[in-house]
Structure 1
Amino acid sequence: MFEPVIAPSGTLLGLLQRGRGDGTLHALAAPRAEALAALNHCVLADPRHDWQVENRSLYYARLYLDLHGGLEEIEAHLLGAEDHLDTEENRTGLALAVLGHLASYGRQDALLLLRRYAATGTNWAWALDELALRDDDAGLRSLAVPVLARFPADAEGDAELAGVVRDAFEPRPWRLWAEDQRDAVGARVRAAQEQGSFDRWQRQMRPAGPRPGWSVRAVLDWAQEGYERGAVLYGPAARCLTAVAGPEDRPEILAAARHGAAGARGAALHHLAESRDPAVLDLVEAAADGDSREVAEAAVAAYRRMCGEDAVARARAWVRRTDALGAAAADVLACRGTAQDSPSVLGALRDTVRDEGPDAPALAGLVDGAGRLGIACAAPVLRHVYRETASSQLRGRVARALAVTDPTFATGFAVECLWDCEETTREVAAQHAETGDVRVAERLRRLAADPAEEVEVQTAVRNRIGPDLQV
């Protein structure tokens, strides 16, 4: 999958791609044709860097409703020839999820398009899951024949069907089809369900793969063998060491952590970190300063798992480093430091934004730390990240931090956050947005009455303004 191209944050397209509340507000104020063009661009070319954790579908569906937008471009995207050439589900997943929300709002054209795509499209399973939540029994039963026709009536087709039934995210359609009186439908689905249950039982009974022997040396050898075949087993091996190692085995584990092969050394470092061995911090530092990049990464990962006061104290010395261990130390201070660590966390936050930009993965912990420690002078850089980041998940973290650090949040960003694509961000906004703004009062009423809104958001609204929603 290609990385999405994100437009500047000051443009309508850039706002909508980011899922910002201001995107909706600007779209409603823009010429309708321009707003619909930008909206269709977002839905047909998914702008999310990580579509599995970032929300956009409800945000875009609501905007289609507000703009009275048609579905012609979505239909062409789903039913065109490219659907059979590019079968990656991220090409069509966002469009299908938007149709699902539109169907839940009563858009019959969205429901019919979902049915049509489930019958003929490549990503039919996603469409079927959307229909399972919104369609009636008659609509789902009408799809049994075209869906089952995808699986040849032979041993290979039956095995593939059994796997699909077994792993179905929404089982409702398959349960309905199992009740069908036709042998080509009901009997076939029931047989697939039975085979899927048998396959699941077999998987549970069979060993999942190679297992270590019951000794420290065997566990370390197992971790090294896994490393050599490309499997990182530091965590599982560390847990195995906890089970098999006694006090008499500490010298062997320390030796592996100092001079062992990469896989065994990583496992030993993780075990020593989890057991808070007094020697582990020196070993982590030595590994981070060593020549092996893989061992250094394993050492830093092991250190990130530590939560004791000794790890925090060492972080205060390491935070000045400019390598991965310094970044991990800043994260530790952000998560577990005290007020005395505020300057270090603020410095790391500023340096990360300056050197790596507003989408740097390291920003998540630092932003949380700025909010946890209440670093008021972090507000300017937090506002910059809020405006520029393409990650709606990170923007939500920034909103929570700004609620603590920025006295203008309630009358500023909190207002637009009521239209944000992330429900956790809307929840923060419902808790803090200044209700004297007429837009806020109306938006809170709409969120409280919207059946598609998350329960946590509606609870925050009602806790804020009362059960009668009078503002």
Structure 2
Amino acid sequence: MDDEEDFYAHPNTLLGALQRGMGRGVIEAMADPAAAVEAVLSCLRRDHRWSWDVDERAVYLARLVCDLEIPIDRLLAGLDQAPPEDDENGAALTLEVLEVLGRAGNRQAVDGVRRHIVQGPHWLRALHMAGSSWDAELWDDLYPRLRDRIATVDRDLILCRSLPWTRWAERDERIAAAIEDARKATARPLPEPTADPELAQARRWAATPDHPQYWLSVWVLARTGDERDVPALLEAVDRVRTRDGGLSRCYRHLVAGLTRIGGDEAAQIVPRLKRLWFSPHTYERAALLKALMAFASPGEPPWQLSEGLWDCEADVRELAAAHVQLTDRTCARLRFLRDDPMEMSEVRAAAAQRLD
């Protein structure tokens, strides 16, 4: 992973595994808590997700905060000290972690976020988070204390059609007007989406990597192609990674297409999958795990299933819970996932079903 060396520690180290949200990072952290505390805090100060929009870390890091008994005050101090521009996304990620902790009933996290909403530099982001995730009783009473701050906010920065704004519009004419402006803006007709090419046309375009519709074409092949399209899909997976641009495009649809088609030629993807497992672009990891399971030899489940029980991505934890080999160690982890109030409902259900 040469293009990532300047930003990520090696994945075989504790810090590198935590930066990538890998299950082994949690296991190693609990074996060396003293070293892990600072590593976790560094992952909060600087968001190492490849894509802040889709890669998950909040539950992963919130669990580590609890398991390592990291004081909530240290998270709140980091939030207060994060610069307003938040170029490294540390404030946003810390708020995601505090949201998970608060949703699980950690009152210190809730009180800290409430204080930050009233007087902290990232108050607007914190308010949006609380409004979208927490019960109204945890934030609705803050309106009188925020009236003056709200008056300074650009309308474009207010998520006008979501909580808390829709609730507070009845009390604030400015918020009500912003919501009306948003309603009118979304009522405008949207441009027609570009239609997918037909399969035969997609095959022609996919044969020319410089074609402007190359990526659209290989995605069509991944969804609807057959065995004859495997070489094109394998080549496209190789083109996802570039030394100058890292993960320039997502590969999960390509991997899913090869998994769907199956066969010995498609199984040539496996060595690539084993390398991509260490990618920081964790949104793709569930597609990798499905493919690794599909191409595994009978009776030889991929080792990634066990590690997946500790993974940062909920889809990976769900897959692992549903398919991991049952041992004393994995059953203990399944019981934890089933009972953890921070866990996603789908993961808890999958764990509970395996334990029945």
Q: TM-score scaled by structure 2? A: 0.83
Structure having the larger proportion of residues in helix: 1
Is the contact made by 1:92 and 1:123 (CA closer than 8 Å) also made in structure 2?
yes
- Confirm or deny that 1:199 pairs with 2:181: yes
Match of 1:323 among 185, 210, 213: 210
Q: How far off is 1:131 after superposition?
A: 3.5
The one-letter code sitting in structure 1 at the alignment partner of 2:53 is Q
The one-letter code sitting in structure 2 at the alignment partner of 1:333 is L
User: Who is 2:163 aligned against?
Assistant: 170
Counterparts of residues 243-392 of structure 1 (less than 5 Å): 274=195, 305-306=196-197, 308-314=198-204, 318-319=206-207, 321-324=208-211, 329-350=217-238, 359-361=247-249, 363-374=251-262, 375-387=266-278, 389-392=279-282
CA–CA separation in structure 2 for the residues paired with 1:441 and 1:87: 40
Q: What whole-Å deviation, never above 9, does each CA across 1:122-147 have from its counterpart, x for those lacking one? A: 2212222443444673x535533332
CA–CA separation in structure 2 for the residues paired with 1:399 and 1:313: 27
Q: How far off is 1:95 after superposition?
A: 0.4
Q: How far off is 1:415 after superposition?
A: 0.9
SS at match of 2:121: coil
SS at match of 1:150: helix
Q: What whole-Å deviation, never above 9, does each CA across 1:152-180 have from its counterpart, x for those lacking one? A: 5xxxx5xx5877777163228x73x68xx
Q: What whole-Å deviation, never above 9, does each CA across 1:166-221 have from its counterpart, x for those lacking one? A: 7163228x73x68xxxxxxxx8x34345434543565477xx5xx9xxxxxxxxxx
The one-letter code sitting in structure 1 at the alignment partner of 2:335 is R
CA–CA separation in structure 2 for the residues paired with 1:204 and 1:342: 41
Which structure has the larger Rg over C-alpha atoms? 1
Percent of residue pairs bearing the same amino acid type:
29
Q: What whole-Å deviation, never above 9, does each CA across 1:386-408 have from its counterpart, x for those lacking one? A: 12x11001222211211211237
CA–CA separation in structure 2 for the residues paired with 1:425 and 1:83: 33
Is the contact made by 1:411 and 1:433 (CA closer than 8 Å) also made in structure 2?
no
Worse overlay, 109-118 or 405-414: 405-414
User: Who is 1:14 aligned against?
Assistant: 16
SS at match of 1:149: helix
User: Who is 1:434 aligned against?
Assistant: 325
Is the contact made by 1:448 and 1:458 (CA closer than 8 Å) also made in structure 2?
yes
Q: How far off is 1:411 after superposition?
A: 4.9
Q: What whole-Å deviation, never above 9, does each CA across 1:236-279 have from its counterpart, x for those lacking one? A: 3x67xxxxxxxxxxxxxxxxxxxxxxxxxxxxxx6xxx4xxxxx
The one-letter code sitting in structure 2 at the alignment partner of 1:427 is E
CA–CA separation in structure 1 for the residues paired with 2:66 and 2:128: 22
CA–CA separation in structure 2 for the residues paired with 1:411 and 1:198: 53
Q: How far off is 1:94 after superposition?
A: 0.6
SS at match of 1:400: helix
Equivalent pairs counted in the alignment come to: 346
The one-letter code sitting in structure 2 at the alignment partner of 1:422 is E
Distance 1:345 1:144, change over 3 A: closer
Worse overlay, 419-428 or 364-373: 364-373
Distance 1:398 1:163, change over 3 A: closer
Q: Which runs of 5+ in 1 are unaligned?
A: 179-186, 212-234, 240-269, 275-304
Is the contact made by 2:79 and 2:90 (CA closer than 8 Å) also made in structure 1?
no
CA–CA separation in structure 2 for the residues paired with 1:327 and 1:102: 40
Is the contact made by 1:402 and 1:409 (CA closer than 8 Å) also made in structure 2?
no
Is the contact made by 1:423 and 1:457 (CA closer than 8 Å) also made in structure 2?
yes
User: Who is 2:76 aligned against?
Assistant: 75
Bigger relative contact order (CA 8 A; separation at least 6): 2
User: Who is 1:402 aligned against?
Assistant: 292
User: Who is 2:311 aligned against?
Assistant: 420
CA–CA separation in structure 1 for the residues paired with 2:158 and 2:349: 36
User: Who is 1:123 aligned against?
Assistant: 122
SS at match of 2:247: coil
Q: How far off is 1:59 after superposition?
A: 0.9
The one-letter code sitting in structure 1 at the alignment partner of 2:163 is E
Distance 1:48 1:164, change over 3 A: closer
Distance 1:118 1:438, change over 3 A: same
CA–CA separation in structure 1 for the residues paired with 2:16 and 2:338: 28
User: Who is 2:29 aligned against?
Assistant: 27
Q: TM-score scaled by structure 1? A: 0.64
Distance 1:26 1:358, change over 3 A: farther
The one-letter code sitting in structure 1 at the alignment partner of 2:61 is Y
The one-letter code sitting in structure 2 at the alignment partner of 1:150 is R
Distance 1:204 1:65, change over 3 A: closer
Counterparts of residues 15-164 of structure 1 (less than 5 Å): 15-30=17-32, 32-80=33-81, 83-84=83-84, 86=85, 90-132=89-131, 133-134=133-134, 137=137, 140=139, 142-152=141-151, 160=153
